[in-house]
Structure 1
Amino acid sequence: MSRRDVSGPAGWTALGAGTAFAILAAAVHADAPRWPDDRFLSWSVAHRPHLAVTVARGVTATGTGAVPYVLAVLAGLLAGRSPKQRALTTVLCLACLAMGQTLRFEAMQLVHRSRPPTTDWAAHATRWAFPSGHTTTSALAAGVLIAAVSLWAPRGGTPLRIVIGCWALLVGLTRIYLGVHWFTDVLGGWLFAVGWLGACLWALARWLPDSFRQSDTVGQRPAEDHAPQNPHR
């Protein structure tokens, strides 16, 4: 696959998701819940058996802390084909995640949207609501891991990619179910993650050296890989 095959779709994805995120951020900046927010929150509060809440808390806890960074390291190890490449891809995956979190925090401070009423919370939460931190972080970690799996197993990795994507999706949904985020906070987290991942992929496709896609042994031909020119040898 050529650089243009990657950079074009990645760039348009980043632009589209980034634009949608900016529009949504402007819409929620007034701090009033949007139309779907109250409906999702009301449904969640009315459907919270103890077991479901316990499971949701367990799932939502994987969207922050060490788990996303462990997944980013795993993605780097899968994406590289040599020790040198694995070290570089690990650094790149961690940088994508860390920088994405930093930008997400700045956006959160800029929008400063309040969370749902604390009486509806079924989990602990801090700071502003938009975009959802757990949602963004898990989606970023899932994105780099899905990309790594696509390189590691381009043909047989579909089931694994689906599992990874479903995990990130569930983390976001638990934030709504536990009442600590509005639906549009979670939607904003997904849009932000897609936009940032697209931007990172676009940048890599444009500026990563061509030699990176080749293993360290490429170019080292065997002493003789064809019939000798001298038939009497």
Structure 2
Amino acid sequence: MRTGLASRTGRWTLTAALCAVLFALLAALVSARHGAPYPLDESLHRWSVRHRPPVAVALARGITATGSGPVPYLCALTAGLVAGWGRGSRGRLLTAAGALGFLLLAQGVRYAVMYAVDRPRPPVADWAAHASGFAFASGHATTSALAAGLLAWAAWRASSPATARLCWALLACWAVAVGLTRVYLGVHWPTDVLGGWLFALTWLAAAMAVCAGRGQGEVARAAAG
């Protein structure tokens, strides 16, 4: 059991480190061009602008709205309450507060990165939705991925493996859809969205490594006692 927890901690730590390195590399590449888009950015952006029938735009706006505002924070609270089920009222509230605090902390760091990179968004004339702030990394992509990860963690703790896998698949589709709408609506370059996903994965994997490490510690203390 202890060996399994240790290997799980190692895998999550390695995943977090890999995502962090990839995110740092992407941020460096974006900064090296002073925020100028790469050819792939421009190509996908042009395709999006040329393929925007009203129905698709309305659908994209509806999906993108779930990646910002109160929805992700309500998801974080829900994840904490579900994950803390069985720990009593105090335990559930503390778990919910921890999940919300995790999301807020990650958002604070993302804002610091966003202002440090200082990347301009695509031309305003191409926007099909409201946007504000700098482009890298995408806030909607980051926030929805973090919220999806928290809900997936709650499903893993509170449901059967089959149900958890179904929840993971649905949540991954939601997070990916939100990120793609930011490109489709013309308010982000594709590398902004990729950066948001890598940033979120770094935080989620690091959190899972901490959780696995705590589990390993609890097993060790129980064995010693």
Taking structure 2 as the reference length, the TM-score comes to 0.89
User: What is the correspondence of 1:34-183 to structure 2 with a 5 Å cutoff?
Assistant: 34-80=38-84, 81-83=86-88, 84-157=90-163, 158-183=165-190
Alignment correspondent of 1:229: none
Work out the CA distance in 1 between the residues paired with 2:167 and 2:134: 33
Residue 88 of structure 1 deviates from its aligned partner by 2.4
| Aligned mates of 2:76, 2:12 — CA distance in 1 | 19
Query: Which structure features the higher share of helix residues?
Result: 2
Q: Structure 1 residues 5, 88: CA separation in 2 closer, same or farther (over 3 Å shift)? A: farther
Q: Distance in 2 between matches of 1:130 and 1:193?
A: 13
Give the match for residue 191 of structure 2: 184
CA distance in 2 between counterparts of 1:116 and 1:170 reads 19
* Letter of the 1:177 counterpart: Y
The change in CA–CA distance for 1:18 and 1:152 in structure 2 (over 3 A counts) is same
Q: TM-score under structure 1 normalisation?
A: 0.86
Report the Cα distance in structure 1 between the residues aligned to 2:62 and 2:83, rounded to whole angstroms.
29
**How many equivalent residue pairs?**
212
Give the counterpart letter for 1:45 in structure 2.
V
Mark the structure with the bigger radius of gyration: 1
Displaced runs of 4 or more, over 3 A: none
**TM-aligned CA deviation for residue 153 of structure 1:** 1.4
Provide the rounded CA distance (Å) in 2 between the counterparts of 1:35 and 1:204.
Answer: 40
The letter for the 2-side match of 1:82 is R
- Using the TM superposition, name which of 198-207 and 33-42 deviates more: 198-207
Aligned to 1:218: none
Deviations 1:66-112 (A, max 9, x none): 10011111111221222233222212211111111011101101100
Letter in 2 for 1:110: A
Give the superposition deviation at 1:127.
0.8
Q: Which runs of 5+ in 1 are unaligned?
A: 215-233
Partner of 1:15: 17
AA paired with 2:218?
A: D
Greater displacement, 119-128 / 6-15:
6-15
Residues of 1 paired with 2:121 and 2:128: CA distance? 13
Gaps of 5+ in 2: none
Aligned equivalents of 1:74, 1:23: Cα separation in 2 = 34
